[in-house]
Chains A and B, each alone.
Chain A
Amino acid sequence: MPRKAATLKSEIEKLLRKERLAVIATQGSPYPYTTLVGFSFTKDLKCLFFATMRGTRKYRNILNNPHVSVLIDTRKNDIDDFKDAVALTILGRAAELEKADKKKYLTLYLKRFPHLKSFMEDPETALVEIQVDRYIFVRRFQEVKELSLT
């Protein structure tokens, strides 16, 4: 069990490196809205990025309410998951990156998802940044640790 913030941080980083897809929940009305996205992250774990078209429901939801929740996990859809799977919930605020920043972080994003190059070149595609407020790390079914960055 991680005992120190540094250990927990490195476990979270390991998970973020290993997994590439995440479920993002945005605030819809009246229902919360979940969808699957490809994500990248900064080494200090302060930011996550994902790409989306501006016409999507999640983009619209974020414009109305930037608070999002992201889930990343290691499940294999097997009975062992109840013992071995790890889940990470990330709470933060999402906003589209402005031009200058987009250029900076696009390289990072494309390094992970080179096959999305043409999708990213589409003028309707936005690169969204999530500023992380808190990580909630769950393992062994019910063991929960939180790491706050702010």
Chain B
Amino acid sequence: MTRYTVPIKDIIREENLNCGNKAQALSIMTSEDIRIPDGICITPDAYQEFITRTDLKGRILMELGRKDLKDMRWEELWDASLRIRNMFVRTPLYPSLREDIISGLPKSLQRKPVVIRSSSTAEDTQGTSFAGLHDSFVNVTGIDRILHHIKLVWASLWSDAALSYSKELSLDINNSAMSVLIQNMIVGTKSGVAFGENPNDPKKAVIEAVYGLNKGLVDGDIEPDRWIVNGKTGKIVSQHQSAHDRYTTVTTEGTTLKKKNLAGTRSPLLNKNEIAEIFSTLTTIQNIFGSKQDIEWTFRRGLLYILQARPITVRSSKDNNKRRVWDLSLRRSIDNLNNLSKKIEKVYLPAMTKEADKIAGKNLTKKSDKDLAEEIADRKKAFESWQAIYWNEFIPFAHGFRLFGQIYNDRLSPKDPYEFVDILATSHLMSFERNRALESFAKDIFKNSQGSSRSTSDPVLKKKLEDFIEKFTGVSCDIAKCENEKETLLNIARQLGKKSPSAKNKPVGREKKTKLFLHSFSKKDRAYAENLLDIGRKSYRLRDDDNIYLGRFEGLLTEAIEESRKRLGRRCKDTYACSNPEEVMRALNFRTYAPKAVETRPDKNSKMKMRARQLRGQPASRGIAEGTARVVATASDLGFVQNGEIVVCDAIDPNMTFVIPLVSAIVERRGGMLIHGAIIAREYGIPCVTGIPHATDFIKTGDYITVDGYYGLVIVHDQKEAKEKRAAGRRLSTKKEGIP
């Protein structure tokens, strides 16, 4: 035992030592002669000392203070968590702490592979715990790698999942702490879990088993063999055998899923004696703790090891927050992402194109009012059904680049936690292709008209415009078709024509960084690293392109609504109501009905005036810009955007990307570092701040604003300041540092 370490067996003897329930349970079991892997616990004091002495405490606090955690979207929580994780990775253990941990680590653990597990002081208490909040690492060898992973476990006290449960966990900078277990790695031939109580039948117990390590089972990647046994006698009631086609095994560091040769794997994974031994140990553990338990176990060389035990009520805790459950389901393993990738590429995207082409081929002008109403219903249904697939399949796939980013940061400890985006952005994004074509078209207009605004009636110009629309109609809802008869597109093109070519962000050392990343893995694991990079790139590209694919369905719906608006004429006084498909359909079916909007109540304190002076969000793309705000609420606002203005919007969608080469910064309500607006801003090298609550309420078109993309701040200047700034003609040029 040292100041900051204690052998697992001694934890229960030490008073006032809170190593978390996981460590406590292991200590109790070992004192009762249950076989567990040997190891030590690094006390929570080590964590507290580390964050206090290195000033991490204040930095974490500042990160968490950006916004109420409850107001953050999952992506924002992930971003906050990533930044905190990087702070831990980049902060060295100071010498005395490092020496203390090393001297507390038995020599056997310093040489052999170990498992490094979280044991949070707030985790696993009855009714407040939800599985998978903090990180554990399997198969880590050598002092330096162990110390590195200790910091990663500490950082996971602030994981995105933990942050989303911060209230339930009473997560707090002063009182929350993390202890770390370092245990001998037991490479079992078969492993699994056992539950003292079957959720569907409390009188029965359940045993599940897989080949190799139980990580594949716990992560949900491998289907196990399952036995339902009598909860009192252990007598087998039923059994289910799985495919036995894959198993988890160790690699140089960590684990990997491998395919298994099916020969000789047809019989059940556990024999009767083994089932009896697991059941008997489970019963002993339940007697020790006096409650039904959920255990993890493994067999090595015929010996049964218990890896973990916890009260069954913990795992059965139900989360009624559906959104949060969904958010947490987004964390996917690389195998899961590989499958998702194939499905999206081979099935969904071709099907989307085919269906959208079919809808686009219909002639709306020839339809009767009633048929047009039906067409709107069909298009709405198509949009909604693809939207559901987008949520359930496309968004989870976006986890691919998050997973890549996390591993990139763990391997290379970059100063900027978003450096990995440079490596992913090599992909050819569809929206940039469109923008390049639009810029080229804009130059043609400018050349033909010598900069003057020519009318849309000019036949040469008209033809060029139609050609452009024709070319890109297959990939998106083209704004010219959906809104204001091409005028919007022309306005943007005219502005673009006057502008010098957009300075594209060319990240420095992209190839070098890619090489560094790949070579941070051993030759044996290089294929895994390449797979990770491939999934990262595909998911990054899809994050952009999927909006465009889905946007096309939304565009087709808008097109049908536009046709209806023309027909409804005077009945469409309320523009907002006439964008509601239900209202429009009703008006098409009933000749006397006019679409209605919901009334809003006036603010009672209307005499008082409130204004935002400074708004805090996330720094999504670096740089500083000052300029006039242009609030973009609908696609029709796009046509008014002027060169150098700052776009303020709820969320950048594919239609808006046309104007990005014109603007000097982006401010967005939707938060996140890796959302569409942030990606495109970094690509064009302009500042971007995301996650500003009610951005379009607090900032009005015409306001003079400063966007600070370093800190994530938007300053709304008052009229006096704005006048002075405009008079001085002061515009800070966007600063780029070659990194997002």
Interface residues in chain A, defined as those with a beta carbon under 8 Å from any beta carbon in chain B: 1-6, 8-9, 79-80, 82-84, 136, 140-149
Contacts and interface: CB of A to CB of B under 8 A. Distances in A.
Contacts of B57: 79
Interface of B: 57-58, 61-62, 64-67, 71, 173-174, 603-606, 608-616, 693-694, 697, 711, 713
Contacts of A146: 610-613
Nearest to A8: B610
A142 B713 contact: yes
A144 B608 contact: no
Given A79-B173, A140-B65, A140-B66, 7 more contacts: A2-B610, A4-B603, A4-B605, A6-B603, A83-B64, A144-B613, A147-B609
Contacts, number: 75
A86 to B, nearest CB: 12
B609 A82 contact: no
Contacts of A136: 613
A80 to B, nearest CB: 7
Contact of B605 (A3, A5, A144, A145): A5
A147 B613 CA distance: 10
A73 B174 CA distance: 22
A144 B716 CA distance: 10
B608 A9 contact: yes
Contacts of B66: 140
Given A79-B57, A83-B61, A4 B614 contact: no
Contacts of B611: 145-146, 148
A82 B58 contact: yes
Given A6-B605, A147-B608, A82 B615 contact: no
Contact of B612 (A83, A145, A149): A145
Contacts of A1: 71, 693-694
Nearest to A84: B65
Contacts of A8: 610
A148 B608 contact: yes
B21 to A, nearest CB: 27
B609 A141 contact: no
Contacts of A79: 57-58, 61, 173
Given A146-B610, A146-B611, A6 B62 contact: no
Contacts of A83: 61-62, 64-65, 173
A142 B616 contact: yes
The winner among B57, B67, B614 for most chain A CB atoms within 10 A is: B614
Contacts of A144: 612-615
B610 A145 contact: yes
Given A1-B694, A80-B173, A83-B65, A140 B608 contact: no
Secondary structure class of chain A's binding surface, majority of residues: mixed
A6 B606 CA distance: 9
Given A4-B605, A5-B603, A140-B66, A82 B610 contact: no
Given A4-B605, A6-B604, A83-B64, A143 B174 contact: no
Contacts of B67: 140
Contacts of B713: 142
Given A140-B616, A142-B711, A143-B614, A149 B61 contact: no
A73 to B, nearest CB: 15
Contacts of B603: 4-6
Contacts of A143: 614-616
Contacts of B71: 1
A82 B608 contact: no
Nearest to A3: B694
Nearest to A6: B605
Nearest to B615: A143
A2 B612 CA distance: 10
A5 B609 contact: yes
A148 to B, nearest CB: 4
B607 to A, nearest CB: 8
A91 to B, nearest CB: 12
30 contacts: A1-B693, A2-B610, A3-B697, A4-B610, A5-B605, A5-B608, A6-B604, A6-B605, A6-B608, A8-B610, A80-B61, A80-B174, A82-B58, A82-B61, A82-B62, A82-B65, A83-B64, A84-B65, A140-B65, A142-B711, A142-B713, A144-B615, A145-B610, A145-B612, A146-B610, A146-B613, A147-B609, A148-B608, A148-B609, A149-B608
A145 B613 contact: yes
Nearest to B58: A79
Contacts of A140: 65-67, 616
A86 B50 CA distance: 28
Given A136-B613, A140-B616, A145-B613, A9 B605 contact: yes
B669 to A, nearest CB: 12
Nearest to B67: A140
A39 B610 CA distance: 24
Contacts of A6: 603-605, 608
B62 A141 contact: yes
A83 B713 CA distance: 16
A68 B693 CA distance: 32
B721 to A, nearest CB: 13
Contacts of A4: 603, 605, 610
A145 B614 CA distance: 7
B610 A5 contact: yes
Contact of B610 (A84, A141, A147): A147
A2 B174 CA distance: 27
Contacts of A3: 693-694, 697
Contacts of B58: 79, 82
A79 B64 CA distance: 13
A3 B694 CA distance: 8
Contacts of B173: 79-80, 83
Nearest to A83: B65
A-B CB proximity, top 7 nearest: A83-B65, A144-B614, A144-B613, A5-B610, A5-B608, A6-B605, A148-B609
A141 B615 CA distance: 11
A142 B712 CA distance: 10
A5 B612 CA distance: 11
A143 B698 CA distance: 12
Contacts of A9: 605, 608
Contacts of B612: 144-146
A148 B608 CA distance: 6
Nearest to B603: A4
A5 to B, nearest CB: 4
A149 B605 CA distance: 11
A142 B614 contact: yes
A79 B711 CA distance: 20
A57 B644 CA distance: 49
B52 to A, nearest CB: 9
A76 to B, nearest CB: 12
The winner among B64, B610, B615 for most chain A CB atoms within 10 A is: B610
A108 B67 CA distance: 37
A2 B609 CA distance: 13
A118 to B, nearest CB: 38
The winner among A6, A80, A143 for most chain B CB atoms within 10 A is: A143
Contacts of A145: 610-613
Contacts of B615: 143-144
